[in-house]
Structure 1
Amino acid sequence: MPRAHWKGELAALVRLAVPVVLSELGWMAQGVVDTIMVGRLGPVSIGAVALGNALFYTPSLFGIGLLLGLDTVVAQAYGRKDYDDCHRWLAQGIYLAIAITPVLMILVAAASFGFGRVGITAEVATPAAAYLRILNWSILPLLIYGASRRYLQGVGQVKVITLTYVAANLINWGGNWVLIYGHFGLPAMGVRGSALSTVIARILMAVSMLGFAWRYERKRGHPLFKHWAGPQLDRIKELIRLGLPAAGQITLEVGAWNAATLSAGWLSPIALATHQIAINYASVTYMVPLGVSAAAAVSVGHAVGAGDKARARRAGWLALGLGTSFMIIAGIVFFIIPRPLIELYTHDPAVLAVGPSLLWIAAAFQIFDGVQTVCTGALRGLGETSAPMIANFIGYWILGLPLGLILCFVLKWGIYGMWIGLTLALIVISSILLLRWHRDSEKLCAQASLQT
């Protein structure tokens, strides 16, 4: 391929990836803002928000995962210039979001009563349960936002997603300040105020995304609600076929890290607070390859829809280079300045004694986290969603998590042991998915060559 074409495709990928990366960082920032804003209340409140978010995100991210099939179908429809089909897929995504919300809310509500039953201390369990029950009301707007966002990404409208998250985080930050500590005559609600602020922000996110989708469709002369498609069972089944493995992969991955959070809760409030701070940093850096992964899914899907299989393969490899390059830099930062990073959250001496070593472990797995994340998106652009689920099951639940529990509780390595086990999991998962992407993309190009 001529160098000019290669550079042009990289530039196009970056233009797509940067707003999506900023959006993923905005998503992560909601939890980070909640953690920082309750930080003045002490390690118990930090731990309560950590546990509440941990249990909330497992079922809610399963719901978001079910909608990831929109990445494939919308991007491929856009690539073959079937714009009305993109619109119809959005409608089916909204129907799916509405259908699964009651089930997810019931699961979250039930989970809010389980903290004390799994050995979490009462001083943490009580505020964590209160936080979770309020946060539960954000599931439907979060899923409507998710469906609308996948649609807008698929049709190349990514900047509006970033604008939405900037506004949502400013609202969440202000809401936390008002509701946690009781300003403007309102009562000080503590961690419950933080949850309520997040619910309000997510409602505004859902309204904003649908508004931008309506504006985009109006500009192209096809008003969104005037031509809104009714439920189509075959399309909803296709979304579930693509999305269920993706949802399973997310649940397995998030569930493993949430198991680590629960394990930290069994150790001590200090271990839990330290774990939460370190995982916040690892999660922030993870948002960058996650955004690149979404851009890879769209770029690969566009190329597949247009029938350009070679460009689809190049898009995946370019995304891998972009995502892993960032993670190498992130790992270096974690290794060089761990203590100042911890001090942005707290100056508690017990937390500062443990935290830097956890960030050193996080530095070791950054590149593997980047590889597995971007590969997952590139494969999704091809329509392959099962391989990441299988890889995550093997890496986390067969190897990494059991090893982490043994090191943590049997060999008494504490929270360090858990993180070492999960690092092994990421090495295994990234290796499996990198080989799978190489094989599937090479096979795609070989098939294209035979057809010509």
Structure 2
Amino acid sequence: MSSTYVHYSTPSSLPSDYALLSRYAAAHDLPPETSQPADEAEASGNAVEDADAYTDPRGVAINGTLRRKKSRRSSFPTSYLTPFNPTMGPLPDKSGHRSGPKAPEATENTPLLAPLVPRIEEECDAEDRVEPPNVLKMFKEEAAVLVKYTVPVFVTHLFEYSLVIASVISIGHLSTAALAASTLGSMTASVSGYSIIQGFASTLDTMLPSAWTSTQPQLVGLWSQRMAVVMAATLVPILCIWFSSESILLFLKQEPEVARLAAVYLRWAAIGLPAYAFNSISRRYFQSQGLFTVPTRIILGVAPVNAALNYLLVWGPEPFRLGFIGAPIATAISFNLISLMSVIYGIFFVPKTAWHPLTMRCFTSLGVLVQLGLSGVGQVASEWWSWELVGLAASQLGPIALATQSVLLVSASTTYQAPFALSVASSVRIGNLLGEENPKRAAVASKCAILMSLVISAVWSTMFMVFRHSWAHLFNDDPAVVTLVASILPLVALFQVFDGLSAITAGILRAIGKQFTGALLNLSAYYVVGIPFGVWLAFWRDMQLHGLWIGLTVSLVYCAAAGVWLCLRTDWNREVEKVRVRLEADKHSNGDVEGLH
């Protein structure tokens, strides 16, 4: 099993059903002197249903017609959400403050129809309109919101991991060659496929949350459609690599039989690759709307099916037993089931507020996604690949060091899921607040997330230090491995602090669209500082595995320190303005595209 797949392959987008609007009106009432009855407008062909902007920037009706907002479903099953009283658009208090986008003063150019503003309405957001809270109170409120968002993400990651574990366990009992081939196959899949997809999908962490809480929530669906176009193009070279993987692995001097079986593994795993890409988009689509428990429910349904399929297709009765290829087929089927259930959930159980009708607009503004996506690949994939390099270096130190590295990496990967889940929650919360034009709370949320990562890291570090002499027995009873693990665990305990901080700061950078900055941080931290220093200590200073982990720790100290410094220096008012400009540009481009049809 690829070590990086364990550490970094869990999806970074997930959803919750406590923050959806329960009702949507068809449109605001028009002033008597300017309104046009809907029936009359439809009869004259002048009413055009549109989920986007209603007028051009000058307030003139597009194409000489009066556009009417598409009717929304007025309600949906209450079993899927916690009731609350949503805020539709601006609701200022006596001081004029509100946590959503500021309503412009009415002028002669004010559009006749103002779109409704869907919100992820947290209790603390509603209180902001009554009385602006102090900073300490905001810290407590944001901590509560982030915990609420993080828990379902963390649970989903654990069950997502079970899809991989079931495959490894089922193949591991076939033969040593089969286990080696599945490990090589999954490592190749992670390096050449899954990491690329997750890197591109990280762009949606910037685009979707702020769009949802803006005056154009349908841009959530539009950006998701655009990302699907980018992903479709990205899958072509990935599939070419996977289907020619045997010759590539042989060129890299892999054992012929292992290379052949790994290539077989990848060809069957390719059945699930489009679904994996779709899932990385659909989860962010739900997540941006605050639906953090939707993927949890879906994965809870699919995980037992995946386990059953692994048994049935690898070890089951003769009519169903496929042996080695059964495991990648089971995983591919599971990915496709997740996709199918996501589509069903999106169609039948979630209002269409975030959805944009399928039009040629999904082929516009792709350059923005490609540019941010490449930076996202640099940020995400560089981290995955660095762990493969460290694992390769550890394999040169002998079987004891390799076994110890496996124990330490699995341990660090498991504890990493908590700060990683918090980083996902932070991206969503900060993005939503930027879309609501609430820079003060966005700043507090980012600082709160950083402090929470330190608390989480303190828990894991304490656990490793308390149980360091017996920790290795969870995985291996070899006395040499137990001793070596105990001697390196203090380093791993220190490593937790900076691993958590780097995860959180990466999430904050994604929320504000600074994937390129995150990519530069990771590339310099791992490939310029950490790995060369660790290899020098391990082989030239004869520090063995200790040297590699010192190098990793140094790289994360650098990455975390620079990330925290960048996040604390962020001008949140400027970030709000960047979101406003991006949304305005899309609104104007909508008018241009509509005029072409």
Q: CA deviation at 1:439?
A: 0.9
2:423 counterpart residue number: 293
| 1:94 and 2:228 aligned | yes
Q: Do 2:198 and 2:380's aligned partners in 1 also have CA atoms closer than 8 Å?
A: no
**SS of 2:358's equivalent?**
coil
| 1:147 and 2:277 aligned | no
| 1:406 and 2:536 aligned | yes
User: How many residues align structurally?
Assistant: 444
After superposition, residues 226-305 of structure 1 pair within 5 angstroms as: 227-268=357-398, 271-305=401-435
Q: CA deviation at 1:79?
A: 1.9
Partners of 2:208 and 2:196 in 1: CA distance = 20
**SS of 2:198's equivalent?**
helix
Distance 1:351 1:164, change over 3 A: farther
Counterpart selection for 1:394 from 511, 524, 527: 524
| 1:312 and 2:442 aligned | yes
Letter in 1 for 2:538: C
Partners of 1:361 and 1:336 in 2: CA distance = 13
Letter in 2 for 1:11: A
Letter in 2 for 1:181: W
| 1:200 and 2:333 aligned | yes
Partners of 2:241 and 2:251 in 1: CA distance = 16
Residues 46-95 of structure 1: CA distance to partner in whole angstroms, max 9, x if unpaired?
Answer: 55444332221123211221121111111111121422111212211222
Residues 15-69 of structure 1: CA distance to partner in whole angstroms, max 9, x if unpaired?
Answer: 2222122223333343344344445567766554443322211232112211211
1:76 counterpart residue number: 210
Structure 1 residue ranges without an equivalent (≥5): none
Letter in 1 for 2:230: L
1:20 counterpart residue number: 153
1:168 counterpart residue number: 302
Distance 1:35 1:271, change over 3 A: farther
**SS of 1:232's equivalent?**
helix
1:370 counterpart residue number: 500
1:103 counterpart residue number: 237
| 1:178 and 2:178 aligned | no
Distance 1:215 1:280, change over 3 A: farther
RMSD of the TM alignment (CA)? 3.1
Residues 290-323 of structure 1: CA distance to partner in whole angstroms, max 9, x if unpaired?
Answer: 1111111111111111111111111111122223
Distance 1:79 1:446, change over 3 A: closer
**SS of 2:151's equivalent?**
helix
Q: Which moved more, 1:375-384 or 1:166-175?
A: 166-175
Q: Do 2:139 and 2:445's aligned partners in 1 also have CA atoms closer than 8 Å?
A: no
The alignment's TM-score, normalised by the length of structure 2, stands at 0.67
Letter in 1 for 2:209: A
Q: Do 1:265 and 1:271's aligned partners in 2 also have CA atoms closer than 8 Å?
A: yes
Partners of 1:345 and 1:42 in 2: CA distance = 20
Q: CA deviation at 1:257?
A: 0.5
Partners of 1:262 and 1:118 in 2: CA distance = 13
| 1:432 and 2:565 aligned | no
| 1:65 and 2:195 aligned | no
Q: Do 1:68 and 1:243's aligned partners in 2 also have CA atoms closer than 8 Å?
A: yes
Q: Do 1:17 and 1:292's aligned partners in 2 also have CA atoms closer than 8 Å?
A: yes
Distance 1:5 1:437, change over 3 A: closer
Letter in 2 for 1:431: A
Residues 167-221 of structure 1: CA distance to partner in whole angstroms, max 9, x if unpaired?
Answer: 333233233333343456544624x43322222211112222232222355x347
Q: CA deviation at 1:391?
A: 0.6
Partners of 1:32 and 1:338 in 2: CA distance = 25
**SS of 2:377's equivalent?**
helix
Q: Which moved more, 1:429-438 or 1:265-274?
A: 265-274
Q: Which has the higher helix share?
A: 1
| 1:418 and 2:554 aligned | no
Q: CA deviation at 1:275?
A: 2.8
Distance 1:188 1:109, change over 3 A: closer
Partners of 1:114 and 1:276 in 2: CA distance = 26
Q: Which moved more, 1:45-54 or 1:144-153?
A: 45-54
Partners of 1:316 and 1:26 in 2: CA distance = 27
Q: CA deviation at 1:122?
A: 6.1
1:327 counterpart residue number: 457
**SS of 2:145's equivalent?**
helix
**SS of 1:83's equivalent?**
coil
Partners of 1:61 and 1:374 in 2: CA distance = 19
Q: CA deviation at 1:229?
A: 3.6
Partners of 2:160 and 2:345 in 1: CA distance = 18
The alignment's TM-score, normalised by the length of structure 1, stands at 0.87
Q: Do 1:47 and 1:276's aligned partners in 2 also have CA atoms closer than 8 Å?
A: no
Partners of 1:252 and 1:94 in 2: CA distance = 23
Partners of 1:410 and 1:76 in 2: CA distance = 49
Residues 379-426 of structure 1: CA distance to partner in whole angstroms, max 9, x if unpaired?
Answer: 221222111111111110001111222333444444443232222111
Q: CA deviation at 1:428?
A: 0.9
Partners of 1:332 and 1:42 in 2: CA distance = 38
Partners of 2:562 and 2:460 in 1: CA distance = 23
**SS of 2:323's equivalent?**
coil
Greater Cα radius of gyration, structure 1 or 2: 2
Partners of 1:416 and 1:48 in 2: CA distance = 29
1:210 counterpart residue number: 343
Q: Which moved more, 1:285-294 or 1:162-171?
A: 162-171
Q: Which moved more, 1:276-285 or 1:387-396?
A: 276-285
